[in-house]
Chains A and B, each alone.
Chain A
Amino acid sequence: MELAQAVVYIAAGIMLGLGALGAGVGIGVLGGRFLEGAARQPELIPMLRTQFFIVMGLTDAMPVISIAMGLYLLFAV
């Protein structure tokens, strides 16, 4: 395998892996806090769920971009 191609595969692997790692940690912490808050004050669940989804969408954005670029590198370049 040529070096250039190998480097592309390594780059795609790093992008996919680090993206998944960051999103996993971030959404894990977020979900844990959401459950804590929901257990403490169950009457706030509808409001907390909305906020949870907003922040999840914000957290999700960067990893998803890096995953898209990683897949593009892997399959289309």
Chain B
Amino acid sequence: MASSETLTAQEYIKHHLTNLTFGSHPESGLGFAHTTEEAAEMGFWAVHVDTMFFSILLGGLFLWFFKKVADNISSGEPNTAQNFVEWIVDFVEENVRGSFSGKNPMVAPLGLTIFVWIFLMNLMDLIPVDLIPWTFQHVAALFGADPHHVFLRVVPTTDPNATFGMSLMVFIMTIYYSFKIKGVGGFVGELTLHPFGKWGMPANLILEGINVLSKPVSLSLRLFGNMYAGEMIFILIALMYGPSVVLSLAGAASQMAWAIFHVLIITLQAFIFMVLTIVYLDMAHQESH
């Protein structure tokens, strides 16, 4: 930690779980929040600058890399980057073929974007927890900020705002295609006529409404929960480093073990988000029975 005063374990964890928030405070005006309470007082329109920065940075990185490979594509002897990109594109295409039965040219690119983007955002979890925040604190201290009140969370998917943003977009697309493919009558019919027939309309609407609304919530909470738990365990392992050599070595071993296991989780969660997006859009494209 940047400051020379010792932090308790609780302060350390809380510091790591606070976003760098920019917003309009009712008393001190426009600026960065210095404490968690200040961030909460900023209300709805406060922006998590770190989440925005890292997610847009990684999205740009993904677009830049794939565009570069696509521009230099050759049918003769592909280089390593082209093989790699083709492998990912094939993998996503295969999954879309397998679970999407309608006709929509947008679903496969959407699946590719979701998969690679979420994977990159989750990958930030494997960077040692203190590395980027510590560097950022020191840089901010050079510009006169109190390093104790500079927060940074590097994994955008541990912020529910990011995951809910993505799942709400998927939700809006589902509703849009439901109306477009099935028509207003078809979609309303699917919501109101399904389990009990037309005399049980209110009960049908409640059941189907819960069904529709639970999709974006579970989609985003699943990703958020997994990443948050992973980050939390990395932070707890980081607490083991200290003057005791035995405990530090145990911390190093457990960090390694958890990181290796986490490689599986981050890929799996990106993959699940992609598959569920495809499945939800497929449901929106099916004609009602």
Contact = CB atoms under 8 A, between A and B. Distances in A.
A75 B272 contact: no
A57 B13 CA distance: 27
Contacts of B9: 75
Given A53-B268, A77-B10, 10 more contacts: A57-B222, A57-B271, A57-B272, A61-B221, A61-B226, A71-B232, A71-B233, A72-B17, A75-B10, A76-B10
Contacts of A68: 225, 228-229, 232
B13 A67 contact: no
14 contacts: A54-B271, A54-B275, A58-B222, A61-B221, A61-B226, A64-B226, A71-B232, A71-B233, A72-B17, A75-B236, A75-B239, A76-B10, A76-B14, A77-B10
Nearest to A72: B232
A60 B272 CA distance: 12
B232 A61 contact: no
How large, as a class, is the contact surface on chain B? 20 to 34
A62 to B, nearest CB: 8
Chain A, interface SS category: helix
A48 to B, nearest CB: 13
A58 B269 CA distance: 9
Interface residues of A, number: 17
B221 A65 contact: yes
Interface of B: 9-10, 13-14, 17, 218, 221-222, 225-226, 228-229, 232-233, 236, 239, 268-269, 271-272, 275
Contacts of B226: 60-61, 64-65
Interface of A: 53-54, 56-58, 60-62, 64-65, 67-68, 71-72, 75-77
Nearest to B229: A68
B229 A65 contact: yes
